[in-house]
Every structure is written in C-alpha cells, then in structure tokens.
A = this chain, B = another copy of it.
Amino acid sequence: MSFVSLNIESPTDAPVKLTRRALAKQRTRERVLSAARRLFTERGYEGATIRDIAQAAGMSTGAVFASFSDKSELFDEILTADYEVIYAQMKQAGVNAATVEEGVIGMFAVAYGFHVEQLPLLQASIAVSWTRSETAERRNRGHLKHIFALLNGVLTRGVERGELKTDADVKLLAEIIWDVYVANYRRAIFDAWSVEALLSRLSDQLKVILAGARA
C-alpha cells in the first residue's frame, strides 16, 4: 500500500533511485577495494598510487576520492576486512582450547594460514605500520584490541583453571607473544617457511615465554 501511495505522490522512482544510488556506491567501493588489493599486493603500498588504482578499477581518481579520503584509508579498509574474515575463526580456536598453548597456537594457526597466502600484502601492512601517522596508529590499535582481548582471554582462562600462576602478568605475556608472532613472519617472507614451521617455532617460543608463569 505505502509503495503504491508513494508511487502516486512523489516522483515515481524516487525510492528505487535512492536504493540504486546506494547500491552503485557500494559497488564502486568494492571495485576500488578489489583493484587496490591487487595493486598493493603486486607493487606494495608506496608503489601503488591512487591514479593506478582508479585506472585499474576503470574509473576516475575523483570517483575513488568520493569513496575514500586518501590512500591510507583505502589500505586500512582492506586490512580491516581481512581482520573481520579471520576474527571469528581465531575466536573459536581460542575459546575452545583446553590449554593456553592450544589456544594461542590455534588462534595464530588461523592468522598464519591466512596471511601466508598473501604475504606481499602482509609485508606492505607491517612496513606501513612503522611509518604511518599517529592517527592511523591509533585506529589500528583499535582494531587490534579485539585480537588482544582473545589472547588475554586464553591466558586468563589458563589462570582460572590453575594452569598459570594467579599473579601472572597476562597483559605483558600477551604483548610478548604478539611481538614474536609478528616477528616470525620474516621467516615466511625471506626463508619460505610453511605455516607448520611457523607454528612449531611459536610453540618453542611459547614454552620459553610461559615457563615462569606456569603454576
């Protein structure tokens, strides 16, 4: 009914027009993101310009800027989408684990498995993370909070079930584990290590890091 009345009282296709516009905008964003992902992967962050990305997406640079304020926002959007893809799986691995080691290894097995398949993008994202603006750093730490919450959860459950000491510094342990987890990607990049090799190393590192915290 309302559809019919609208059809009578306003320009006949107004609601349809709005939806079409929103859809078109969404499609533009997706085309830009897809072209950007490919070019960042092929050329790295510095090597891919907005002009290149626009051209690869078959649109003007103005059309790209209508969706994204700058290259850094475009890049972060790709990484955020990737976080969302792996977050649920990482959570499941962490929550279902019977031991701290099983939880940490399970979580990072998901992350290594995902990123090793797209190393050039990962390399660009780590490289950028060292030279970005403070604003971009804050935004990224916001994203990482969710991952750190999972890691803290795995460690806290270890304390609760008596696997780790009650006075274990969960936050510090999580940060050390994160630092070695990230550093291990160098082995994948420059030494062609497999996910299994990375996890075996992480397991050795975890034994060292957790040794003093075990109850």
Interface-side segment among A24-32, A80-88, A126-134: A126-134
Asked if A23 is an interface residue, CB under 8 A from chain B, the answer is no
Count this chain's copies in the assembly.
2
Main DSSP-derived SS at the A contact region = helix
Contact with B along A198-215 (1 / 0, CB 8 A): 000000110111111100
The answer to whether B44 and A131 touch across the interface, beta carbons within 8 angstroms, is yes
> Count of A residues near B, CB < 8 Å?
31
Asked if A46 is an interface residue, CB under 8 A from chain B, the answer is yes
Asked if A22 is an interface residue, CB under 8 A from chain B, the answer is no
The answer to whether B189 and A183 touch across the interface, beta carbons within 8 angstroms, is no
**Closest CB of chain B to A49's CB: distance in Å?**
12
The answer to whether A176 and B208 touch across the interface, beta carbons within 8 angstroms, is yes
Q: Which of these, B123, B127, B186, B209, contacts A176 with CB under 8 Å?
A: B209
Q: Which of these, B46, B123, B186, B204, contacts A46 with CB under 8 Å?
A: B46
Contact residues in B for A124 (Cβ distance below 8 Å): 131
